Structure 1
């Protein structure tokens, strides 16, 4: 349970400490005093969405901290420990510190057991620590989705496992059905696509392009387009190599002359003999180069204009392919390979359709069977939940009220089965049950929701329940009945209630008041409203109940009424405590 909550710079609260503990704690105060900030602080600590507007005007950040005591073997402590949280012993229990800060710019930071942690982990832990219920939950209870969720929670883990199996089969069925419908609907498009691919591949295959062929032909085209300049260059180079002119001898002549000169002197020096051999090699290389140049010129003469025309015609054909399919021949070939694979896929769609038709039928039978199992489980749970909630309503000043839960079949299965869940209330004897969304008043909705939560607490327990003005629209005996039921619930779990009803507040084990404080306003800065949070003693409780009853906390008559209300309520609380001790 939550032992203590500390709040800093949240809404109208500058600094506050809420001492909590076991039993029933009520939070009261005038409208606008800041009671809702207690719920806001809890919401932050439970990892819910943070709103920068909740940060107090003029403050850089808001902070909410909680001290939580749990049995040492509680699974929340295991999860926190795995995240690196530091957990301290606290008597027979273990102590876990939770905190959440929120900057005025909207940045949020969470710590668990003194270690930084993702806000999502706070939400996971909070789900198993605290159940928060407010007026918005009453509104949601009118909706079929919330009614189905409540019934499924009551049905427990058995239905949860069946629902998981159903949803898995349902997703598979929907996916297969969608694919099958797509294949059938697109059959004409697939035939057209396959025909276009065949024509394109036939065109490519008829030309049989080779990798890099476009670049190779481009180089050959450039060569043949400059044939005269190439021939002239070769002839000039050959003349330089082979010239026999006495005044301008060629390379071969000069190399032979050098070899002869060196050869004559080589008898006197072996090094010169080696040089003579190299000069001879130079002459041979020059002669071979001259021969290669002659062959190159001969090839140019053979290829000539006819070969250039062939190359340009081939390039034109390849350019058509590149304009249609890809910027280069290599990319055209890659596109062709992908298209062949796609053509095989299109050809295999008929067999895929046959496979899917069988798969869809099998999955449809499976979905139908699991939906039937869900319906049976929900009908059984609906009878039990109706009976237990109706019994709770008797304890909430609705002695003849009856909650009816109808489970009817939808035309088509959905994501949560094939059931329509409807909660109907017959508020008194002889009344026909009517849907909660149409026939229930605000006060009746408050009590129905409280009754459902009390019943669900037995099958889906959490250590702490928080109720934010769920007694809206209730008064008189009904308010007393709600106070009694909350006191009874508080003997098993921790209950925190934000209320405006003195009949409910009188049953509290602990009474906290949020009050506007002019001194706090001056300290916090001119122009800002500030509130204090104080724990009330017996005398202060009487005055607060008098204020809630008559709006006159100093009135003797109001205080007398408050004392009587408090005395009667505490007698019941004491009797509940005695019964609990006797059972123990």
Structure 2
């Protein structure tokens, strides 16, 4: 509920603060005192279109600020959170400023926000009923919402069931339509993936094969150079047994050095250490010579193998140009492509399953929507009767309220179990309108158009009283604040007492 409202520079109001309490608050005053400006200011605070003409003469701007106290689970707090607002223990501050030049700004919880956020909060916080404004029933959907709230848990459960089935039905239908429309593209992709996978399978690349073949290609292509280099190194280390004249080699020179040190090693430990190190060096030379000998045996001139390796590398390079930088990347792409191909191949089966699922869900949502329509019709008859009874106590004894629940027929729509085709939304198949026949013989018209002057506020008072009683019985509730402008206009005596009693009754739940 609103606990405080400040208005500055609006119309005849210079600066005023309204302290509001739970229950019934009554604002009275003579003509021109500013009562209408309070309602206008509230309209600005709740997202109504800004009019610079409301700015007080001589003021640069107008300000309307409100403090709202709400329970933690109230949807208005959730909407404020979405807008990035700050609030403290359910206390939310909202504000609207209008410059004399016409520019308007909105603030929610200390943060600048679009005016549309204030409008969203207004629908959750306040219902305003006056001779000129009917914020509660401005939109057609609001009539349906009023009836659904009156219908209680039974209507709410059916409405939620219809919404849930409708969302599932539409999601399945969209997926089915997408798969059907993409059939040609799917066929082309299947052909492309199949050809690519067959190409990769024909080459049959192995993990790391490209790197191994690259190294082998380099070795085979330069076999002569490699053998000559290794043979020369071997001869320098251990000599060439086939040479016409022996040449100095490392092994012989190490042996000669050790022979020179041998007579003196017993006289000096340092010299003995040098001999030991020469021995170790000779062992290393022997091992290295053996390795070079094995290398020479392994490096062969094999033109046939070289041709095979180069052909294999060429085949692999065709794949790496198309599917990845390396063979490992080609294999990863192949795995993903195979999974995608399986998904595409099985898509036709999925299309068939989805088609059956769409038909099943359509039947289910149509059946649920029909049940919801019947429940609304029953609730509408009860609601109209109760509101008419209330009007009898508000100096409108001849007025009759009816709730028109009619199906939205559509020859291209969804077929109901009874064969009728209707346009179906997540809210059902009904258009709901609350109608009023103000006098006997008068044709029922939309409630906002049929009544005039103070009658309109009394009609809305009756609607809200009946609705609030039903909501209280079900543990639910509508907006936490109701505003009735000139609800007592044109009534007096007992009717005026009845108006007060209804206001007090409504204040018990708001």
Q: Please, what TM-score do these two structures have when normalized by structure 2?
A: 0.70
Q: How many angstroms does 1:364 deviate by?
A: 3.3
Query: Which structure's relative contact order is higher, taking Cα pairs within 8 Å and 6+ residues apart?
Result: 1
Q: 1:476 to 1:448 in 2, by over 3 A?
A: closer
Correspondence for 1:35? 38
Correspondence for 1:454? 465
Q: 1:298 to 1:124 in 2, by over 3 A?
A: same
The structure 1 residue matched to 2:425, chosen from 402, 414, 417, is: 414
1:488 aligns with 2:497: no
Correspondence for 1:287? 286
The structure 1 residue matched to 2:335, chosen from 323, 334, 337, is: 337
Correspondence for 1:210? 206
Is the 1:141–1:449 Cα contact (8 Å) retained in structure 2?
no
Q: 1:297 to 1:259 in 2, by over 3 A?
A: same
Aligned residues: 462
Is the 1:209–1:329 Cα contact (8 Å) retained in structure 2?
yes
Q: 1:155 to 1:259 in 2, by over 3 A?
A: same
Counterparts of 1:361-400 in structure 2, within 5 Å, are: 361-395=359-393, 398-400=396-398
Q: 1:181 to 1:32 in 2, by over 3 A?
A: same
Q: 1:270 to 1:483 in 2, by over 3 A?
A: farther
Distance 1:235 1:136 in 2: 110
1:319 aligns with 2:317: yes
Q: 1:469 to 1:225 in 2, by over 3 A?
A: farther
Distance 1:13 1:158 in 2: 47
CA offset digits 1:115-147 (Å, max 9, x no partner) = xxxxxxx99999887545578973773643222
Is the 1:255–1:283 Cα contact (8 Å) retained in structure 2?
yes
SS at structure 2 position matched to 1:26: coil
SS at structure 2 position matched to 1:406: strand
CA offset digits 1:331-376 (Å, max 9, x no partner) = 2111111122223333433443454445444433432332232122
Q: How many angstroms does 1:209 deviate by?
A: 1.0
Q: How many angstroms does 1:383 deviate by?
A: 0.2
Is the 1:169–1:366 Cα contact (8 Å) retained in structure 2?
yes
Distance 2:379 2:491 in 1: 28
Distance 1:169 1:324 in 2: 46
Q: 1:358 to 1:76 in 2, by over 3 A?
A: closer
Correspondence for 2:163? 167
Is the 2:12–2:33 Cα contact (8 Å) retained in structure 1?
no
Q: How many angstroms does 1:99 deviate by?
A: 4.0
Distance 2:36 2:375 in 1: 47
Counterparts of 1:570-581 in structure 2, within 5 Å, are: none
Is the 1:390–1:402 Cα contact (8 Å) retained in structure 2?
yes
Q: 1:469 to 1:214 in 2, by over 3 A?
A: farther
Distance 1:407 1:33 in 2: 35
Correspondence for 2:435? 424
Correspondence for 2:413? none
The structure 2 residue matched to 1:467, chosen from 463, 483, 486, is: 483
The structure 2 residue matched to 1:157, chosen from 140, 153, 157, is: 153
Counterparts of 1:544-555 in structure 2, within 5 Å, are: none
SS at structure 2 position matched to 1:327: coil
Q: How many angstroms does 1:27 deviate by?
A: 6.4
Correspondence for 2:17? 17
Q: 1:134 to 1:277 in 2, by over 3 A?
A: farther
Q: 1:361 to 1:262 in 2, by over 3 A?
A: farther
Q: How many angstroms does 1:414 deviate by?
A: 1.8
Between 333-342 and 6-15, the greater mean CA deviation after superposition: 6-15
Q: Please, what TM-score do these two structures have when normalized by structure 1?
A: 0.62
Correspondence for 1:555? none
Root mean square deviation, CA, Å: 5.1
Q: How many angstroms does 1:152 deviate by?
A: 0.5
Is the 1:142–1:436 Cα contact (8 Å) retained in structure 2?
no
Correspondence for 1:90? none
SS at structure 1 position matched to 2:193: helix
Q: How many angstroms does 1:24 deviate by?
A: 3.9
SS at structure 2 position matched to 1:391: helix
Counterparts of 1:48-447 in structure 2, within 5 Å, are: 64=65, 66=67, 99-100=93-94, 108=107, 110=109, 131-132=127-128, 138=134, 141=137, 143-223=139-219, 230=226, 233-242=229-238, 249-267=248-266, 276=275, 278-296=277-295, 299-303=298-302, 306-395=304-393, 398-410=396-408, 411-435=422-446, 440=450, 443=453
CA offset digits 1:446-472 (Å, max 9, x no partner) = 55444322322222356953327587x
Q: 1:239 to 1:123 in 2, by over 3 A?
A: farther
Correspondence for 1:543? none
SS at structure 2 position matched to 1:424: strand
Between 409-418 and 134-143, the greater mean CA deviation after superposition: 134-143
SS at structure 2 position matched to 1:317: helix
Q: How many angstroms does 1:76 deviate by?
A: 7.5
- Structure 1: 5+ residue runs without aligned partners? 88-95, 112-121, 496-584
Distance 1:176 1:329 in 2: 40
Distance 2:151 2:178 in 1: 38
Q: 1:276 to 1:146 in 2, by over 3 A?
A: same
Q: 1:144 to 1:130 in 2, by over 3 A?
A: closer
Between 360-369 and 272-281, the greater mean CA deviation after superposition: 272-281
